[in-house]
Amino acid sequence: MNENIKLYEYIIKKKIININDISIGYDQKVFLLETKEEKYIMKKSKNSPSKIENEEFALNLLSNLNIPIPKLIFKNSDFLIESYI
């Protein structure tokens, strides 16, 4: 995890001061990335890259509703980073 901090900082354009594993589910590892200004959520699929695709699909569906949802900041086949709400 720590070996990728520079990559995550490059993506969010801020220095990360803390990373916590907040995973509670079976399918994904979920991390809270904290900077001085903001917090972000990073998700990595444990079993299948399609979980990342499903997450993006769900966010797109929810964006049509008038409810607060995370903003997708970055996504590739290995992980995604979204805003913290």
> By residue range, what is the domain housing residue 51?
2-83
Residue 81: the pLDDT is: 96
Q: What is the pTM of this model?
A: 0.86
Distance CA 12, CA 73 (A): 8
Residue 1: the pLDDT is: 55
5-51, pLDDT tens digit by residue? 999 999 999 999 999 999 987 788 999 999 999 999 999 887 776 77
Q: For position 60, which CATH number holds?
A: 3.30.200.20
**Total number of domains in the chain:** 1
Distance CA 51, CA 46 (A): 9
Calculate mean pLDDT across residues 42-64. Answer: 84
H/E stretch holding 55 reads: helix 50-62
Residue 25: the pLDDT is: 78
